[in-house]
Amino acid sequence: MRILGISAFYHDSAACLIEDGEIVAAAQEERFTRKKHDHSFPAKAISYCLGAGGITAEQLDSVAFYDKPWLKFERLLETYLGFAPAGLPSFYRSMPLWLREKLWMEGLIRRELGDYEGEILFPEHHQSHAASAFYPSPFERAAVITSDGVGEWATASWGLGEGRTLELRQELRFPHSLGLLYSAFTYYTGFRVNSGEYKIMGLAPYGEPKYVDTILEHLVDLRDDGSFRLNMKYFNYCQGLTMTSRAFDRLFGGPPRKPESELTQREMDLARSVQEVTEEIMLRMARYARRETGASALTLAGGVALNCVANGKILREGIFDDVWIQPAAGDAGGALGAALFAWHQVHEGPRGADPRADRQAGSYAGPSFSTDAIEEWLKEREVPYHRLEADETTTTVADLLVDEKVIGWFSGRMEFGPRALGARSIIGDARSQRMQSVMNLKIKYRESFRPFAPACLAEDVEDLFELDRPSPYMLLVADVQQRRRLEAPADERDLFGIDKLNVPRSDIPAVTHVDYSARVQTVHSETNPRFHSLISAFKERTGYGVVVNTSFNVRGEPIVCTPEDAYLCFMRTEMDVLVLEDCVLYKTEQPALDEEGDWRDLYALD
């Protein structure tokens, strides 16, 4: 049985094809259109998935869309009416698209699939998230927590999965939302909502939690079970075009920071404060779910589950024996969850959990390109390159990393989800004190405060970090091992905010944040043997089985999908080397890129 899952129209539209419950292909629309967080109907992603499965839409047994449009429309209407007339501008902006497309989703899907006549299913938004969390996990029985901005009415839920059954037992409802609370602070500190939330997480260690009491006293009425109510006089997202209100401004001492303006200690303290409140809410939700379900394992999905600092804290608290987080935890993963919901819940398809491995197998579900195809593309464009044997490629790149070269690494199937996991990555030497600033300012063209993640051999993780289990999806934060840390200089207390980033914290300074933490990816020979081989070759030369790993893109650009995307990104930045499968390109040998205008105008800053 072949089922197509679709998510669309809010952010990170995506498609997924499963066959008898197994993932055949999955990808976000942004990777094909080159529009970051593209919310449009995922026509290109669907085309890719069907092509990867070798089928046409007529051969699908079922299509599943990740939420119920009419129920979401009901929530919008009730909210606008409840705040009328204040919500009229927002109402007028949103209604045309709803009346033209979103309400008539079934007809739109049928047309886009060439007059598809088969079954179309509409699970609820948080059912899709829950399915994406539990069904691919390695657990036969597990608690499930979902948390995001909002679906139809639900903003968070918890339940229990067992075998192929999955039941959500309680939910938190709009407008009370942990995702929207975090987004409000994202907006207030000058970053883009639904895009810049991870910047708050990265900024938090520079600050002090001085506003935690203010948040809990005025904004959030928090209960022991993790449920809460927001004081809506401080927020504007129900009726306006901004996230926060003037009362919010008064409470925190001024208007929102203007985007791209200088960061101050105030923004750092706000980030730290909302991060700590988020962690406390997630911990309470987790404790309650453990108590109510009795399950020893936890699975997580929804946009809030991308908060890897909170995930790591849940793990370290020992509330559950093990935790598994959906790598495409946001709306993109809803496409996968909708398809799995249809297979297991509607069609009663079997599920066999393997405690040794999850069913997402590294989340490498996107397009791939052979070396022969890449070589043909390079020859057509007269691009200088060197074709190597497979083993020679990894040893050559390892030598280049030792020489502190920054490498664009394009290998195998593209990742599904927001993280680059060694298929579409920019990599460097984690031992280098200059690597973090070089990558931030000369390669990624992004804010200097943002940390980079380590990709380490799975078998070496405990030697490097205080983590005793796999973290293949870069969704757990752990501290660098104590013995690897460097003592901070006495004058560090005089440094302001992000100036602290230049102080080496460990013997792997390029991946050690200012609080000695790191967002860890463990690399496994079973799911990515080539990346594992590369890091192993680097370890043979240096004794360190770890490299810097960041996504292959510049700020505002989606992660690269094709060899052409990768080549353009390589030429537009100060990367030293590009590796396209077994074709190696050196920047010093490349002719100047002939482009009209400034390529930066192509991408809106995130």
Cis preceding-peptide flag for 175 (omega within 30 of 0) = yes
Percent of residues, the chain, with pLDDT higher than 90: 84
Question: Within a 13 Å sphere around the CA of 113, how many CA atoms are in the beta-carbon half?
Answer: 28
Task: Count how many residues are written for the chain.
Answer: 606
Hey, is 584 helix, strand or coil? strand
Cβ-in-10-Å burial (0-12, 13-18, 19+) of 389 comes to exposed
In this prediction, residues 388-410 reach a mean pLDDT of 97
Cα–Cα distances (Å) from 18 to 25, 53, 85, 426, in that order, read: 7, 9, 46, 30
Name residues whose C-beta falls within 8 Å of residue 482's C-beta, 6 or more positions apart in sequence: 466
Check whether 50 has a pLDDT greater than 70.
yes
Name residues whose C-beta falls within 8 Å of residue 511's C-beta, 6 or more positions apart in sequence: 430, 451, 452, 453, 454, 518, 546, 548
Check whether 76 has a pLDDT greater than 90.
no
pLDDT band, very low/low/confident/very high, at 497 (cuts 50, 70, 90): low
Using CA of residue 569, residue 572, residue 576, residue 582, what is the dihedral sign? positive
Q: Report residue 349 CA to chain centroid gap.
A: 28
Type of residue found at 103:
L
Reading the block at residue 386, the tokens are: 């060197």
Task: Dump the DSSP string for 57-94.
Answer: GGG-SEEEESS-HHHHHHHHHHHHHHHTTTTHHHHHHH
Reading the block at residue 318, the tokens are: 């020992």
Q: E-strand spans in 231-382?
A: 297-301, 322-325
For the chain, give the mean pLDDT. Answer: 94
pLDDT in tens, 192-221: 999 899 999 999 999 999 999 999 999 999
* Cβ 172 vs Cβ 156: under 8 Å: yes
Check whether 240 has a pLDDT greater than 90.
no
In this prediction, residues 419-424 reach a mean pLDDT of 98
Angle, helices 308-316 vs 265-293, to 10°: value is: 50
Check whether 490 has a pLDDT greater than 90.
no
- The Cα–Cα gap between 450 and 204 comes to 10
Cα–Cα distances (Å) from 52 to 31, 46, 135, in that order, read: 16, 10, 22
Residue closest to 542 by CA, chosen among 402, 427, 404: 402
In this prediction, residues 470-496 reach a mean pLDDT of 89
* Cβ 436 vs Cβ 442: under 8 Å: no
Task: Dump the DSSP string for 372-438.
Answer: HHHHHHHHHTT---EE--HHHHHHHHHHHHHTT--EEEE-SSPBSSSS--SSEEEEEETT-SSHHHH
pLDDT band, very low/low/confident/very high, at 498 (cuts 50, 70, 90): low
The single-letter DSSP state of residue 506 is B
Reading the block at residue 305, the tokens are: 């589950």
Check whether 47 has a pLDDT greater than 70.
yes
In this prediction, residues 266-283 reach a mean pLDDT of 97
- The Cα–Cα gap between 227 and 204 comes to 23
- The widest CA-to-CA distance across the chain, in whole angstroms, is 71
pLDDT in tens, 283-304: 999 999 999 999 999 999 999 9
- The Cα–Cα gap between 528 and 412 comes to 8
Q: In this structure, are strands 583-586 and 424-429 parallel, antiparallel, or unpaired?
A: unpaired
Reading the block at residue 575, the tokens are: 């990367």
pLDDT in tens, 323-336: 999 999 999 999 99
Reading the block at residue 55, the tokens are: 């089928």
Q: What is the pLDDT of residue 367?
A: 98
Q: What is the pLDDT of residue 239?
A: 85
Q: In this structure, are strands 22-28 and 165-173 parallel, antiparallel, or unpaired?
A: unpaired
Name residues whose C-beta falls within 8 Å of residue 143's C-beta, 6 or more positions apart in sequence: 158, 159, 160, 161, 289, 290, 293, 295, 297, 298, 299, 320
Type of residue found at 85:
P
The ranges assigned to domains in the chain are 371-602
- The Cα–Cα gap between 521 and 452 comes to 11
Name residues whose C-beta falls within 8 Å of residue 77's C-beta, 6 or more positions apart in sequence: none
- The Cα–Cα gap between 134 and 143 comes to 8
pLDDT in tens, 323-373: 999 999 999 999 999 999 999 999 999 998 899 899 999 999 999 999 999
- The Cα–Cα gap between 9 and 435 comes to 38
Higher pLDDT, 443 or 50: 50
Check whether 151 has a pLDDT greater than 90.
yes
Lowest-pLDDT range, 223-232, 475-484, 592-601? Answer: 592-601
Cα–Cα distances (Å) from 271 to 146, 244, 276, 383, in that order, read: 22, 15, 9, 45
In this prediction, residues 522-541 reach a mean pLDDT of 98
Q: Report residue 53 CA to chain centroid gap.
A: 25
Q: What is the pLDDT of residue 520?
A: 98
The whole-model pTM stands at 0.95
* Cβ 565 vs Cβ 424: under 8 Å: no
Q: Which fold has domain 371-602?
A: DHBP synthase (3.90.870)
Q: What is the pLDDT of residue 103?
A: 86
